Structure 1
Amino acid sequence: MIVWSLDNRFVLAAIMDCRICVWNAVDGSLVHSLTGHTASSYVLDVHPFNPRIAMSAGYDGKTIIWDIWEGTPIRIYEIGRFKLIDGKFSQDGTSIVLSDEVGQIYLLNTGQGESQEDAKYDQVLQY
């Protein structure tokens, strides 16, 4: 997974060794090597209006909100025992929606940093 930062200053990529790398988009230099995941991460998204905020989620069940300018985690959510396979910030940036490998949906309130109730198991995505 690879994404541009909101201000186009950085390129972020999920690397197979559990890191999120942040590169300078102008000269290609490595700015930060973000560590915190203990398994592969395939979910990356940037905040819809704050250019210094990004999130990652991975097979370790963690979702991490990052300050990509400082290279530090802001908050770590321990979601569950299943692999997280997709996730996005809401358009207003106050929430994140995630899905896991068995189709459960999770909503995180990023404004207050409090995790909302997990979606009920029977509320799964049908593909």
Structure 2
Amino acid sequence: FMVFVGCWSPGGARFAIGTTDCVVHMYRAPPPQQRGGRAPPPSSLHLVATLRGHKHDVTSVAWSHQGDALVSGSKDGTARLWRLKSLVEAGHVLGTAASPAVTFPGERWGSTGLGVPPGDDTAVPVLGAVVWSSDDARVVTSSSDSRVRVWSGRTGAPLLELRDAATGDGSAHAREVYVLDAHPLLAHVCLSASYDGTAVLWDLRTGTPIRTLKQPVVDDDNEIVDGRWSGDGESLVLTDTGGRLSVWGASLSAAMPSDVADQVEAGSLTVAGATPLAASSLAPLQQFTRADLTGPGLAFAP
């Protein structure tokens, strides 16, 4: 089989991969105290579970922040929520001359399908991305049919679909959505970005857009292929098929290292592939405010 995606659990105890054989393979790493010394990265992993349930390639996996659950997405048009049910007594032994043997029990994981699988005669959208909200209360999935849906992180029950009236058909975007990233501090805020050249900041409580960000139009290659929040949630970056990286934030100068901002202002570094712009003039162009995200009576966590 071939591997589409791999993801460590928080803390590095488990590693999950999505593959072309329609399954998620789950591996365990020896705990740091059993690797000795300064606990270098594990030199070996051992397969402890094979999670079956998808009918096509598994293209995305995401761990909950607590590390006790996993979401997978597939080309079969479905996502699945996985939780550890039990351990199997028959263990697997890992060991070398340089380190003691470690016994790993096998693992049994139960799963819940998110939504109803498409029928055999139905055109199946590819699950483009999956992500957990920062409090693990919600799971967000996106697909190639331009839709973004929100599910319960505990039960897998559908909660709502994100809709933008500007698209005309009530979907989240006008084209495929392969980028999702939850705000690191605000559990109700999530970013989605699309091949339509826009990124949307969503309120997961209401399913409505907070703010729509549009890539600067330089040419036709503005399909957004990746996007991430900064660790403090005050800024985000987007990249597109034209090879451009755009920085957005409540304060661009605060989001940029000082040496990078100096290069932009001097004209030796180009942001978003456009002509050189001073950092001071770029900031109001690509900006959202803290108030956009928090709303009345809400605030960023300290």
Class of the TM-score when normalised by the shorter of the 2 chains: 0.7 to 0.9
1:43 and 2:179 are equivalent in the alignment? yes
Contact 2:181 2:191 (C-alpha < 8 Å) held by counterparts: yes
Q: What is the match of residue 189 of structure 2?
A: 53
Q: What is the match of residue 139 of structure 2?
A: 11
Shift of 1:120: 5.0
Q: What is the match of residue 155 of structure 2?
A: 27
Alignment of 1:84-123 (within 5 A): 84-109=224-249, 111=250, 119-121=271-273
Alignment partners' CA distance in 2, 1:22 and 1:41: 14
Greater length-normalized contact order (CA 8 Å, ≥ 6 residues apart):
1
Please identify which structure carries the higher helix content. 2
Match of 2:202 among 54, 60, 66: 66
> Quick check: which has more Rg, 1 or 2?
2
TM-score (norm 1): 0.84
Letter in 1 for 2:194: G
Residues 13/60 of structure 1: CA separation in 2 closer, same or farther (3 Å cut): same
Letter in 1 for 2:141: A
Using the TM superposition, name which of 77-86 and 9-18 deviates more. Answer: 77-86
Letter in 2 for 1:90: S
Q: What is the match of residue 125 of structure 1?
A: none
Alignment partners' CA distance in 2, 1:107 and 1:17: 27
Alignment partners' CA distance in 2, 1:83 and 1:38: 11
Shift of 1:45: 0.3
Match of 1:76 among 212, 227, 234: 212
Letter in 1 for 2:151: W
Structure 2 segments unaligned to the other structure (5+ residues): 1-128, 164-171, 252-263, 265-269, 275-302
Letter in 1 for 2:198: K
Q: Deviation above 4 Å: which 4+ runs of structure 1?
A: none
Shift of 1:62: 0.5
Aligned-residue CA RMSD (Å) = 2.1
TM-score (norm 2): 0.37
Tell me the alpha carbon deviations over residues 41-94 of structure 1, each in whole angstroms, 9 at most, x when there is no partner: 111001111111100001000000001112111001121441000010011111
Percent identity of equivalent pairs: 34
Letter in 2 for 1:61: G
Contact 2:244 2:273 (C-alpha < 8 Å) held by counterparts: yes
Contact 2:131 2:141 (C-alpha < 8 Å) held by counterparts: yes
